């Protein structure tokens, strides 16, 4: 029922065609968990709800699906074996929690699709309409900086003691577990520097992982990721990797996205994914967003058509965006002129 990836035969162009040429990615997970009463003042951030309130995660996934999302991203961004072990969980329990994040997202998709057939959601009441709303479940892998929980994923400076091999050792088992979790694809998110992207590419190859993936960097301006590395250099590191089905930007102020899309397009023909944050500033010391420093929903949505025209084919939101944001993105894209098939990636 609906579109699902099938391991190595997964076709991003086919998924995008079924989605009408441009797919909608969900919005901020932690933002909505907090709006629904979750306390995320924890090093595990949104992943703490895997332990305390999995039903809340499922609800948020459903809210985004109802808003029109074609891709929902699991609550595993900050879920690592190392972090769970620090909370007293065994390795086996830690791996089970990571898999649970994907299971919850898959359950939400199943509930949504069944409800859609009963006309409880806005997608449509028959399978013909349902097929027009293809849905993928993506397993999130946050950067090493996200595990540190000190805001370093927004700086990309891990220090000289953190090498390529350090990063590979940190991510290796986590990637293996999520690759076997049943997710349609893996999302390497908020990548702050070139070396971590290189670590992911080498792990995919060394471990024989064939699950498709997208790589999404965090930008500091229209040309660079937060570490200062050129986005063009970062894309060149991953472009030849067969697993990579999309490349893009997340958790970056909306004002930088257009320029970053143009920079990425110079280097790759792969589909481009963008899901910016609200543009608000994050205070890493207080571990909170500075309110009234960002972009309003209306201003955020005003960018969407420009991003699509520049070449983005998967568009959503990151921190501080909501189902309201995603619904508006879906409406903009549904009202846009269809993309000719020959123009699709």
Annotated binding site for Zn(2+): 251, 318-319
In degrees and rounded to multiples of 5, residue 36 shows phi and psi of: -95, 15
**C-alpha–C-alpha distance, residues 91 and 72, integer Å:** 26
Count of CA atoms in the C-beta half-sphere (13 A) of 328? 17
Residues 6+ apart with CB under 8 A from 31: 319, 320, 321, 322
Other beta carbons within 10 Å of 140: 27
Nearest to 294 by CA among 265, 332, 325: 325
Could you list the residues known to form a binding site, using ranges. 251, 318-319
Distances (CA, A) of 255 to 35, 106, 263, 307: 25, 33, 14, 11
State the angle between helix axes of 297-310 and 257-265 in degrees (0 to 180), rounded to the nearest 10.
10
State the angle between helix axes of 194-206 and 164-179 in degrees (0 to 180), rounded to the nearest 10.
50
**C-alpha–C-alpha distance, residues 282 and 320, integer Å:** 11
- 197 burial level (CB within 10 Å; 0-12, 13-18, 19+): buried
Radius of gyration of the chain (CA): 18
Region class of 168: left (phi > 0), else alpha (psi between -120 and 50), else beta: alpha
Distances (CA, A) of 307 to 71, 87, 247, 334: 18, 41, 14, 14
- H/E element, 274: strand 272-275
Residues 6+ apart with CB under 8 A from 216: 187, 188, 189, 190, 191, 247, 248, 249, 250, 273, 275
């Amino acid at each position: 029922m609906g579109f699902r990836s099938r391991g190595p035969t997964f076709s991003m162009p086919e998924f995008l065609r079924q989605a009408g040429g441009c797919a909608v990615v969900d919005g901020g997970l932690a933002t909505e968990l907090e709006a629904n009463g979750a306390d995320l003042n924890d090093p595990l951030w949104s992943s703490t709800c895997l332990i305390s309130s999995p039903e809340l995660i499922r609800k948020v996934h459903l809210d985004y699906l109802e808003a029109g999302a074609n891709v929902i991203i699991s609550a595993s961004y900050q879920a690592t074996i190392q972090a769970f072990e620090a909370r007293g969980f065994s390795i086996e329990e830690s791996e089970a929690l990571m898999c649970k994040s994907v299971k919850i997202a898959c359950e939400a998709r199943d509930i949504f699709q069944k409800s859609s057939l009963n006309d409880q959601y806005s997608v449509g009441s028959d399978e013909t309409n349902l097929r027009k709303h293809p849905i993928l479940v993506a397993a999130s892998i946050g950067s090493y900086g996200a595990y540190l929980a000190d805001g370093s994923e927004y700086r990309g400076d891990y220090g000289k003691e953190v090498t390529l091999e350090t990063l590979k050792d940190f991510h290796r088992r986590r990637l293996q577990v999520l690759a076997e979790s049943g997710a349609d694809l893996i999302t390497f998110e908020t990548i702050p520097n070139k070396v971590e992207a290189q670590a992911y590419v080498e792990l995919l190859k060394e471990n024989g992982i064939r699950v498709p993936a997208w790589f999404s960097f965090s930008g500091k301006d229209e040309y660079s990721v937060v570490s200062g590395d050129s986005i063009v250099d970062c894309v060149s590191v991953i472009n030849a990797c067969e697993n990579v089905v999309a490349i893009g930007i997340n958790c970056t102020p909306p004002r930088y996205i257009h320029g970053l899309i143009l920079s990425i397009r110079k280097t790759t023909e792969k589909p481009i994914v963008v899901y910016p944050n609200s543009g608000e500033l994050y205070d890493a010391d207080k571990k909170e967003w500075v309110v009234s420093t960002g972009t309003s929903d209306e201003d955020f949505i005003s960018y969407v058509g420009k991003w699509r025209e520049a070449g983005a084919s998967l568009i959503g939101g990151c921190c501080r965006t909501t189902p309201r944001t995603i619904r508006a993105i879906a409406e903009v894209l549904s009202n846009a002129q269809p993309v000719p098939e020959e123009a699709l990636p």
